[in-house]
Amino acid sequence: MKDEKLTFGETLKNAFYAIKLGRAYTKALFFNICFIAALGYFQWVFFSSVFMKNIVDSLDKGEGFKKIFTYIIFCGVVVGLMNLYQHYFENVTLPIEKTRLYGRLYRKLFDKAKNVELSCYENADFYNKYTMAMDGADERISDVMRRFWGVILGTIATGFVFYLMFEIDKFAVIFIICPLLGNFLFGSIKNKYEFKRYKEQVAGNKVLNYVSRAMYLPDYAKEMRLFNVFNLLKKQYNDATDRNVKAAEKYAFPNAFVNFWKITFTFSVIFEGILFYAIYRNLVTKSISLAELTIMTSMMVSMTWILIGLFDDIINFMKDGVFINNLRGFLEYEEKIPEDYDGIIPGEFESLEFDNVTFSYDDEETIKDLSFCIKKGENTALVGHNGAGKTTIIKLLLRLYDPTSGVIRLNGRDIKDYNLHAYRELFATTFQDFAIMGMTIKENVLMGRRYDDDDKVVEDALKKAGVYDKVMSLEKGTATVMTKEFDENGAVFSGGESQKLAVSRTFAKPSALKIFDEPSSALDPIAEYDLFKNIAKEGNEHTLLFISHRLSSVKHCDKVFMLEKGRLVEEGSHEELMALDGKYAKMYRRQANNYLAIDDGTEGA
């Protein structure tokens, strides 16, 4: 995605991209914003010039009360209708169209988020920009549209008032320089000071936000009460506050000084200056009528507020450029492994082969020249210490990543040749870092899939995972909502129970190859034994790929691949590897001794 240092041209492109996006999703909002802005500027210009001129001229000519009154009533009715439409827009049209914009825009963002490859979520820079793109995207787009019309119509209104003032007095337009200096010169300097202050306070604000979250989120509640961490958080909070105060003090006087001149030139000089000038011409030189004096001062007031609004629209129009850049960069990002990747439809699973596969993440090789083969009907295990690359292999196998070099083949063909969705349907997987959704237990098991007999599928899967009795003890059974985020009566499972629920998803999906990634890491020995027994039964009808750091659980696998730092160091059955007396055997004996030591109440060797 693009860097945030944008040129003026890039900022304009981003703004017009947002306008194009907003107009595509709701033309009604786009054109109504234009119409409302036009009505607003029309009223400013009309009442400060035409309306005032007609009233004063009528009074000078001695026209009757009825005619003047009729004119005022007519103008009042027209303005009333304008205001009625404006209120209708703000209270009816605007909420409806902004909701429509929100729904359509976020559907597009969610579709994009689902389609980008997994590595994007593991890239801190990409993920930060993604979250910024999602944050208030609809509000930003509607604001850009409003600012866009504000700049165009404000410029037209400024030119029109300038022309009217020039017609009255060629020298009076010199006073327009004052609000220009106030807004565009001193206002720009003020914004630079405020931005510098903001940048210096970013780090402190991050700390303040972190401490604030820690104080009210339940995740930190136990540690807060059992340890002395509160004092550490308090110190972090105080230090961050002190840094922010120093940054505020650093720019307080320069900001106040510039703001004084901004207000002086924007309001004081022009208001008093044009008033003294008009009075001088009316009373001393007798070169301007009372009507012209009134109109001139009225138009200068309007000109000032129009320029203030125009400057504000320009500044915010440009400010939104950085945010829209994140939104545009995210939506235009070309996925390396798009979820809608098309290709041939795979047949039945026969074999899966890694051929000299190497994978690097952040320029660090995590998988190196890896070659192995899994055949239909085999029960295979990947074992090794933490960081050996076991889970990365599964992500490569599922094509969540693509290898840096080498080839992964399904049935002898590069997996890149296959339709991605159809290819992944061959696998049922439970990762160690699973997620429990804020949905019903049934939906957590089926995960969006439907079968002829959903309830029977869910029941069998929960029984195999060993969590059926727990689920049925709940009042609503499989209709119970998980977590309390959306339902105060929702269920909150223990770590082991949540893991069993996640594992049940793999049992439920009728795929050719089932992958269990550390499925018992949160289970006690008895629950682990029961789970492995059911997984072994699953292997009678499916090909299994099993990942575990507990080697006792892979004894009955047909093949065991021993990994170390992303390399395959040993392979064979459990008996063959024990006979080899290498790294696998050493690791197995060490674990066995430790488990025996626990049973005996003594320390392991």
State pLDDT tens for residues 101-110: 999 998 998 8
The residues, any chain, with a CB within 8 Å of residue 184's CB and separated by 6 or more, are 311
Q: What is the pLDDT of residue 600?
A: 42
- The residue ranking higher by pLDDT, 351 or 124, is 351
How many Cα atoms sit within 13 Å of 203 on the Cβ side? 8
CATH code, 440: 3.40.50.300
With vertex at residue 521, the alpha carbon angle to CA 520 and CA 523, rounded to the nearest 5 degrees, is 60
Minimum mean pLDDT range among 271-275, 400-404, 511-515, 533-537: 271-275
- Answer yes or no: is pLDDT of 153 > 50: yes
Tell me, yes or no, whether 20 and 165 share the same domain.
Answer: yes
Amino acid in position 392: T
Tell me, yes or no, whether 142 and 240 share the same domain.
Answer: no
- Answer yes or no: is pLDDT of 173 > 80: no
State pLDDT tens for residues 36-45: 999 988 888 8
CA 204, 205, 209, 210 dihedral sign is negative
CA 581, 586, 591, 593 dihedral sign is positive
Q: What is the CA radius of gyration of the chain?
A: 35
pLDDT over 90, % of the chain? 37
Total number of domains in the chain: 4
For residue 53, being part of any structural domain is answered with yes
* Beta bridge pairs of residue 572: 560
Tell me, yes or no, whether 270 and 331 share the same domain.
Answer: no
Compute the mean pLDDT over every residue in the chain, rounded to the nearest whole number.
85
Residue numbers of the domain that contains 231: 173-287
Tell me, yes or no, whether 330 and 385 share the same domain.
Answer: no
- The residue ranking higher by pLDDT, 280 or 78, is 78
Tell me, yes or no, whether 122 and 180 share the same domain.
Answer: no
Q: Distance between CA atoms of 198 and 179, rounded to whole angstroms? A: 26
Selection from 49-53, 91-95, 290-294, 600-604 with the highest mean pLDDT: 91-95
For residue 532, being part of any structural domain is answered with no
Neighbouring C-beta atoms of residue 433, cutoff 10 Å: 8
Amino acid in position 568: L
State pLDDT tens for residues 539-592: 788 899 988 877 878 888 899 999 998 899 999 999 999 999 999 999 888 887
- The residue ranking higher by pLDDT, 560 or 385, is 560
Q: Distance between CA atoms of 447 and 445, rounded to whole angstroms? A: 6
Name the pLDDT band for 199 (thresholds 50, 70, 90).
confident
- Answer yes or no: is pLDDT of 3 > 50: no
Cα 564 from chain centroid (whole Å): 37
By the 8 A CB rule, do 450 and 536 touch? no
For residue 93, being part of any structural domain is answered with yes
- Answer yes or no: is pLDDT of 396 > 90: yes
Report which DSSP code applies to 173.
G
- Answer yes or no: is pLDDT of 354 > 70: yes
Tell me, yes or no, whether 84 and 133 share the same domain.
Answer: yes
By the 8 A CB rule, do 312 and 151 touch? no
Average pLDDT of the residues in 355-379? 90
Tell me, yes or no, whether 247 and 211 share the same domain.
Answer: yes
- The residue ranking higher by pLDDT, 505 or 127, is 505
Tell me, yes or no, whether 145 and 283 share the same domain.
Answer: no
Domain termination site, one of 247, 271, 287: 287
- The residue ranking higher by pLDDT, 419 or 296, is 419
For residue 356, being part of any structural domain is answered with yes
For residue 396, being part of any structural domain is answered with yes
By the 8 A CB rule, do 379 and 539 touch? yes
Tell me, yes or no, whether 36 and 99 share the same domain.
Answer: yes
By the 8 A CB rule, do 78 and 296 touch? no
Average pLDDT of the residues in 225-240? 86
For residue 489, being part of any structural domain is answered with yes
| Residue that the structure tokens 């996925």 belong to | 335
The residues, any chain, with a CB within 8 Å of residue 191's CB and separated by 6 or more, are 315
Q: What is the pLDDT of residue 62?
A: 81
Average pLDDT of the residues in 130-150? 85
Average pLDDT of the residues in 124-146? 81
Q: What is the pLDDT of residue 458?
A: 94
Tell me, yes or no, whether 444 and 465 share the same domain.
Answer: yes
Tell me, yes or no, whether 153 and 4 share the same domain.
Answer: yes
Average pLDDT of the residues in 95-123? 88
Q: What is the pLDDT of residue 594?
A: 63
- The residue ranking higher by pLDDT, 145 or 173, is 145
- The residue ranking higher by pLDDT, 437 or 122, is 437
- Answer yes or no: is pLDDT of 526 > 90: no
For residue 294, being part of any structural domain is answered with no
Tell me, yes or no, whether 11 and 74 share the same domain.
Answer: yes
For residue 202, being part of any structural domain is answered with yes
Q: What is the pLDDT of residue 4?
A: 52
What region does 384 belong to: left with phi over 0, alpha with psi -120 to 50, or beta? left
Per DSSP, the three-state class of 347 is: coil
